[in-house]
Structure 1
């Protein structure tokens, strides 16, 4: 029987900010994208004691992409250069379209930092199609109550972005895409439908079997196209993220927080940030300087 896994990618250790470790899964030297997903960071679970710093990501810029933040535990407060100020909680979606350029910060709220908390979540970047790379920046918050949720056997699924299994999320998007959070109890099976051209399963907690391979936390399995694939949770259950969509319309360049089909556009974004031409973030006067390299 053919292997249902086309490629297996394992996340690598990285620090988002000092003392805030993440697993960076995409881009990888093995594969840069899955559908329009071009970046995946998995942070936590991390126990932050009372008085701890938590997440302190100062204002920084983006172009050519949309950021998608999804939390299992904890909270993040988002501010951006359009004036949005929005807390995100587990199950909600923050979708920020950078397009022609936006700056934002992501921080732990003072009350949460004072009491201590547990942080666990995933941030992904979705590369915009060439026709939308320079679209006007925007921000959308979708509360968990508005997202499609259903049972597939014993598994509980929630559609974060796009269309999947006959359901469509209200979250804005620019190309065929799907992004699903799935809770699969011990020994239960979840069938990943074949409707999208590129598909992957990421293990955020627990273990799962796909074919004859056991996957653990930090593993991203790129699935072979064209057929339904079963993911069977281990004895401790599994928290899985299903993601993918239509392949990008050409290669993308990534430099720091910039994504574009044009190297020249990235050079212009670098100069714009360095010279202060991006709009500032109201209520958050700090910023991250342009890296030297």
Structure 2
């Protein structure tokens, strides 16, 4: 993987009562293919009186992907879905013209010690689908395509890779692949990836001829077609990327769009509480004054 363009470390960010490591965006790199936002949650050891409680909040113009390594989260949304996601499964929520959801520690874990660890990812929608009807899909861990290459286990979490296709219903050409190495080896993906590509090291070490890279680093390739690297035994990495969109994407808080005007409309709509409600929820996260944004 000698064609590395950028190397980034996780940067800390707060989401309510939870500290995360932000992987994307960076000032130098705002998106990787259609991926516009990636947070690494935890690992956090939580006591019996500590719980994840993210009150209802809105999204537009994107799909969210939740993937846990440890712990569990109850997802409730304005479509009426109420489901607990556990490690290895995928929650895929497409906001389109607008959806609201909450994320909380499940009832059965709220009074015991627990661990929270996972990834939360935003994938922008193609321009012609930004205003589509929202939907939600849950895919169990055993339903994701998995295979071996030498001493490595591969899993296709979302998108397409060669002749394999995840059951997650994506809306553009993309991939998110988990690789777990059981011995020191070379991973050769030469001419097997497409578009833009990033590599996140969850644990272990990735090596090139020039350098060694460790946990919590993200590497961005200059050319996904030339992606080849060495990996140490016990490492777990995530490859993600795909074809970028021709239009720029703007982000304000939880809103993603190719139009600044659409984002302004969404802000006013949330302030007026005109988004659909999450059944059984009465709280909501107010629109931040100083929100992460791109303009």
TM-score grouping bracket, smaller chain normalisation: over 0.9
Corresponding position of 2:12: 13
Q: Which runs of 5+ in 2 are unaligned?
A: 291-295
Q: Give the Cα–Cα distance (whole angstroms) in 2 for the partners of residues 9 and 65 of structure 1.
A: 24
Greater mean alpha carbon deviation, residues 83-92 or residues 185-194: 185-194
Q: Give the Cα–Cα distance (whole angstroms) in 1 for the partners of residues 155 and 61 of structure 2.
A: 27
> Which of these residues, 147, 150, 154, is aligned with residue 153 of structure 1?
150
1:166-245 correspondence to structure 2 within 5 Å: 166-194=163-191, 195-225=193-223, 227-234=225-232, 237-245=234-242
CA contact (8 A) 2:196 2:224 kept: no
1:3-82 correspondence to structure 2 within 5 Å: 3-18=2-17, 20-53=18-51, 55-82=52-79
Q: Give the Cα–Cα distance (whole angstroms) in 1 for the partners of residues 42 and 90 of structure 2.
A: 18
Greater mean alpha carbon deviation, residues 190-199 or residues 118-127: 190-199
Q: Which runs of 5+ in 1 are unaligned?
A: none
Q: Give the Cα–Cα distance (whole angstroms) in 1 for the partners of residues 209 and 266 of structure 2.
A: 44
Q: CA deviation at 1:14?
A: 1.0
Corresponding position of 1:98: 95
Question: How much is the aligned-residue C-alpha RMSD, in angstroms?
Answer: 1.5
- Scaled by the length of structure 1, the TM-score of the pair is 0.94
Q: Give the Cα–Cα distance (whole angstroms) in 1 for the partners of residues 248 and 9 of structure 2.
A: 22
Q: Give the Cα–Cα distance (whole angstroms) in 1 for the partners of residues 209 and 55 of structure 2.
A: 42
- Per-residue CA distance 1:34-67 (angstroms, 9 max, x = gap): 01000000011111122322x2111100000000
Q: CA deviation at 1:4?
A: 2.1
> Which of these residues, 249, 252, 256, is aligned with residue 252 of structure 1?
249
CA contact (8 A) 2:98 2:275 kept: yes
- Scaled by the length of structure 2, the TM-score of the pair is 0.94
Structure 1 runs of 4+ with >6 Å offset: none
Q: Give the Cα–Cα distance (whole angstroms) in 2 for the partners of residues 36 and 28 of structure 1.
A: 15
Q: Give the Cα–Cα distance (whole angstroms) in 1 for the partners of residues 15 and 239 of structure 2.
A: 23
> Which of these residues, 270, 279, 284, is aligned with residue 282 of structure 1?
279
Q: State the secondary structure of the residue aligned to 1:114.
A: coil
> Which of these residues, 268, 274, 284, is aligned with residue 271 of structure 1?
268
Greater mean alpha carbon deviation, residues 44-53 or residues 189-198: 189-198
Q: Give the Cα–Cα distance (whole angstroms) in 2 for the partners of residues 76 and 210 of structure 1.
A: 37
Corresponding position of 1:140: 137
* C-alpha distance 147-226 of structure 1, shift in aligned 2 (>3 A): closer
Q: CA deviation at 1:206?
A: 2.2
CA contact (8 A) 1:202 1:240 kept: yes
Q: Give the Cα–Cα distance (whole angstroms) in 1 for the partners of residues 211 and 53 of structure 2.
A: 37
